[in-house]
Amino acid sequence: MNASEDDRTPGGVRVEAEDPVGSGVAVITVDRPAARNAIGFATVEELDSALDKVAASGAAVLVIRGGGDRAFVSGGDLKELAAIRTHADAVGMARRIRRLLDRVAGFPVPVIAALNGHALGGGAEVAIAADVRVAADDIKIGFNQVTLGIMPAWGGAERLALTIGRGRALLAIASGELYDAPRAAELGILDIVVPRPSFEDTWRSLAQGLAATAPGTTRAVKSVIAAATPMVHQDLEANAADAFAELWVAEAHWAAVEALEAKRRNK
């Protein structure tokens, strides 16, 4: 379901719930069609508030998805993030969004990323912060920040390594390769891939099936698995943010951004 222009908030985030009191499914949608669901400053604040609402609702399962069928999340909003020019500001941005995605990764109930469209760069970091990734078979996913002379800044590098292994994660990030859905499933980046016509029914059935278990079950299962394989590593935040900021303020990054903008203008 797409929101009308009048219904959209500045950050494009909305929350829907199906009988969320203790046993239902909550859905957070990022719907910014003009920016291909990219994450801007307002989006970050609205996502934080949305997580607060879901936590207070007592929902048993959370689903995160993008609006439309072109993009899950296309990364950070380059038009907004271009205002960040200093090392200190780049560190602050990286830490702010990393902590948001740490909330997603550490959320007390299972989180499903429903990839309705491509998940690129920061969008792939949002997806890998979820517990389970369900995707339509025509989407692509890639940690392709290297094409802009930077690296994943929001905890995605560490989470990807924990998900698919160190070597595969290094290759994925250093090459910036975009994987089609079947290949991403082979690597373990995606968990479930289905034909586009059955995508909506699949993720909804999965979420509803998990939520239909005995009260408290999803929280108990999530807590045990999270303890065994923690996806939040606050001790790594400072070094990761600093490494990212060094790349962000470098001339190579801004040259790549300018080249991308020129390419878009000439289309």
Residue entry with tokens 């930077």: 150
Cα 114 from chain centroid? 10
Continuous segment of H or E residues that includes residue 25 = strand 25-30
State whether CATH 3.40.1260.10 applies to domain 5-265.
no
**Rounded mean pLDDT, 23-30:** 92
**Rounded mean pLDDT, 47-70:** 95
Using the predicted structure, report yes or no on whether residue 266 has a pLDDT greater than 90: no
- Tell me what pLDDT residue 21 has: 53
Continuous segment of H or E residues that includes residue 65 = strand 61-66
pLDDT level of residue 22 (50, 70, 90 thresholds):
low
Residue type at 235 in one-letter notation:
D
Residue (of 161, 148, 138) closest to 230 by Cα position = 161
CA atoms within 13 A on the CB side of 92: 9
Longest dimension (CA), the chain: 56
Percent of the chain topping pLDDT 70: 95
Using the predicted structure, report yes or no on whether residue 246 has a pLDDT greater than 60: yes
pLDDT level of residue 8 (50, 70, 90 thresholds):
confident
Show the DSSP H helices in the chain as ranges: 41-57, 78-81, 87-105, 122-129, 156-164, 166-175, 181-187, 199-211, 217-228, 237-248, 251-265
pLDDT level of residue 264 (50, 70, 90 thresholds):
confident
Percent of the chain topping pLDDT 90: 89
pLDDT level of residue 1 (50, 70, 90 thresholds):
very low
**Rounded mean pLDDT, 178-197:** 98
* CB of 195 closer than 8 Å to CB of 170: no
- Tell me what pLDDT residue 174 has: 98
- Tell me what pLDDT residue 2 has: 47
Q: Backbone phi, then psi, for 130, in 5-degree steps?
A: -80, 165
**Rounded mean pLDDT, 40-65:** 96
pLDDT in tens, 191-243: 999 999 999 999 999 999 999 999 899 999 999 999 999 999 999 999 999 99
Measured distance CA(96)–CA(94) in Å, rounded? 6
pLDDT in tens, 91-148: 999 999 999 999 999 999 999 999 999 999 999 999 999 999 999 999 999 999 999 9
64 Cβ neighbours under 8 A, 6+ residues apart = 27, 28, 29, 30, 104, 111, 112, 113, 114, 126, 130
> What does pLDDT average to over the chain?
94
pTM attached to this predicted model:
0.95
